[in-house]
Amino acid sequence: MRFTVTGCAGFIGSNLADRLLQKGHAVTGYDNFSTGQHEFLDEAFKSPRFQFIEGDMVDAKRLNDAVKKADFVIHLAANADVRYGAERPSKDLEQNTFATFNVLEAMRQNGVHRIAFSSTGSIYGEPEIFPTPEDCPFPIQTSLYGASKLAGEGLISAYCEAFGMQSYIFRFVSILGERYTHGHVFDFYKKLAANPNEIEVLGNGKQRKSYLYVQDCIDAILTAIDHPQAQAKINIFNLGSDEYCTVDESLGWICQRLGLNPIRHYTGGERGWVGDSPFIFLDCNRIRSLGWRPRLTIRQSVECTLDYLMKNKRLFDRR
Ligand SMILES: NC(=O)c1ccc[n+]([C@@H]2O[C@H](COP(=O)([O-])OP(=O)(O)OC[C@H]3O[C@@H](n4cnc5c(N)ncnc54)[C@H](O)[C@@H]3O)[C@@H](O)[C@H]2O)c1
Closest ligand 1 atom to Cα of 13: 16
Rounded Cα distance between 127 and 142, Å, is 10
For residue 143 and ligand 1, the question of a CB distance below 6 A is answered with no
Residue nearest to atom 1 of ligand 1 (CA): 175
What pLDDT score was predicted for residue 274? 84
**Using a 6 Å cutoff on CB, does residue 118 contact ligand 1?**
yes
pTM for this entry: 0.98
CATH of 2-175+213-239, one of 3.40.50.720, 2.60.130.10, 3.30.830.10, 3.30.420.40: 3.40.50.720
Q: Which residues of the chain, if any, have pLDDT below 50?
A: none
Counting from 1 in the atom list of ligand 1, the atom nearest the Cα of 117 is: 41
Which overall architecture, per CATH, does domain 177-210+242-318 show?
A: Alpha-Beta Complex (3.90)
- The structural domains of the chain, with segments of one domain joined by +, span 2-175+213-239, 177-210+242-318
Measure Cα distances from 66 to 8, 51, 79, 191 in Å: 12, 9, 20, 39
What pLDDT does residue 319 have?
A: 62
CA distance 172 to 283: 11
Q: What pLDDT does 17 receive?
A: 98
Ligand 1 centroid from CA 289, angstroms: 27
pLDDT tens by residue, 194-238: 999 999 999 999 999 999 999 999 999 999 999 999 999 999 999
| Distance (Å) from CA 303 to ligand 1 centroid | 22
Q: Which of 31, 62, 75, 182 to mutate to test the pocket of ligand 1 (most atoms within 8 A of CB)?
A: 31
Query: Is the C-beta atom of 146 inside 6 A of ligand 1?
Result: no
